[in-house]
Chains A and B, each alone.
Chain A
Amino acid sequence: MKETKIKLIEDFINGKLSGKDLDSFKKELSTDKELLKLYEDRIKISELWVKSHEYQSLKSEIGDIIKQENKTFGSRYFFHIGIAATVLVLISIYFIFFNSSSNKLFDNNTVTSVYDTTINNEEEISFRFDEPAEYASIDSLPYFINLVSPVNGEKFDRFETIKFSWKSNSMRSDTLFIVDSESQNILLKLFIVLSDTMISIQYPQFEEREYIWYISDSNSYGRFHITENIK
């Protein structure tokens, strides 16, 4: 009996019912509770089946795009590492094999730091050079700076110590800017070393408003609020 009803429902959905059969089916839907429940469940199942398919397809598309982005970043990063390594090797070869003007320097096969040039006599000028490695440093490569906190408008009172933290693969120094969000005036410029990944400040002169902060080469900024008393 149930199987007959299921077949009738499929015929109805298929558009196979017409005339008296169609009228009879519609009448039964209003009187037969089991038929109505089977019909409604059939519709709900098909709608949810399609929605779950759309959800899964979309999520998979988004996942593929994210994977592509991660791959592109990784290959760009390693490409630049490769370039830097090649440059380093070439410079080292240059200084080892081709630069013979300072015999005094290379007598012991060592390199020492430069201070200035010294003139020993009229014919001879001797130079001392910096470590070749200093001319090709990992810090000259593209690097990332990702701000960690505060980024979402976290609230502090003006006497509180605020810790600004970030992640970076660079060892260089940089500048952290704190800006009034409304007037866009720069309030503070702080010297930082990127490898430290954080700096804490206490600045009672903050006023009760929103500020934004960023590091000069970061591609995003963070927000925080100073309130009078949050405790």
Chain B
Amino acid sequence: MISKVPNRKNDENDIISGILENDPQTIRNIYNTQYIKIRAMVSNFKTLNIEAEDVFQEGLTRAVINVRKGLFKGDSTFSTYLYGICRNLCLKEYNKFKDIKRTEVDDFKEEISDDYYDAIQVMLRIKNKLDSTCIKIINMRFGINNDNSVGKALKFDAIAGILKITADNARQKFGRCMSRLRSLISENNEFNQIMD
């Protein structure tokens, strides 16, 4: 007969250090232990047409970013923190439809405001409107390497070497791409508000 309570305490230090070390097994463990609760929470928002897996993926991305920025203070367990982020995502979506002024849940406050992630979403939509050559040149100029890691921004002669063009040509191409990027940004009111 089972008489003992299973030890369900998360090792918070293991989770946090796993996230900081970019350990995929930590992400797997978080998914296997936390997804079911979040799915149950999302299912309570019956009028929303959102997938629990999408909410979980977005919530976990934000939680990991916050941990890596040193913004997760450890006032709650990581699972509570993740749950709170996911719940706020659902509330935000819900309030959009209900046209209600969004209020954060009292017992939980994210360290990074929604504006930060809104700005990121806007930038991603703008990026999708650029052609691949522009994205490549801008990536190099802003320090994003071919393997998607972020390093030092490249100078025009280094970019020229990679693209097998002259440095002046690289500068001109970059100038045209940035002009296109600025033009897309100026057309986007949401982004302009964020930039201000």
Instruction: Give chain A's interface residues, CB within 8 Å of chain B.
Output: 3, 6-7, 10, 13-15, 41, 44-46, 48-59, 61-63, 65-66, 68-69, 146-149, 151-152, 175, 177, 179, 184, 186, 212, 214, 216, 220-221
The answer, yes or no, to whether B127 is at the interface (CB within 8 Å) is: yes
Tell me, rounded to whole Å, the shortest Cβ–Cβ distance linking A55 to chain B.
5
Q: B28–A62 contact, CB under 8 A?
A: no
Instruction: Kindly list chain B residues whose C-beta atoms are within 8 Å of the C-beta of A45.
Output: 181-182, 185
Which DSSP category, helix, strand, loop or mixed, fits chain B's interface? helix
Q: Is B142 a contact partner of A49 (Cβ separation < 8 A)? A: yes
Task: Say which one of B2-10, B70-78, B94-102 lies at the interface with A.
Answer: B2-10
Q: Does B136 contact A (CB under 8 A)?
A: no
Given contacts A13-B153, A48-B119, A66-B56, contact A6 B175 (CB under 8 A): yes
Assess whether B120 is in contact with A46, with CB atoms less than 8 Å apart.
no
Further 7 A-B residue pairs, CB within 8 A, beyond A52-B127, A62-B27, A65-B31: A10-B175, A13-B153, A46-B153, A148-B40, A152-B83, A220-B33, A221-B5
Contacting A66 at CB < 8 Å: which of B40, B57, B119, B148? Answer: B57
Q: Which chain A residue lies CB-closest to B127?
A: A52
Looking at the complex, which one of B120, B155, B182 makes contact with A51 (CB distance below 8 Å)? Answer: B120
B48 within 8 Å of A (CB atoms): no
Contact of B8 among A10, A66, A186, A220 (CB under 8 A): A220
B144 interface contact, C-beta 8 A: yes
Q: Of A62, A151, A186, A216, which is within 8 A of B40 by CB? A: A151
A55 and B61 within 8 A (CB) = yes
Residues of B within 8 A of A221 (CB): 5-6, 8
B:127-157 near A, CB below 8 Å: 127, 138-139, 141-144, 148, 150, 153, 155-156
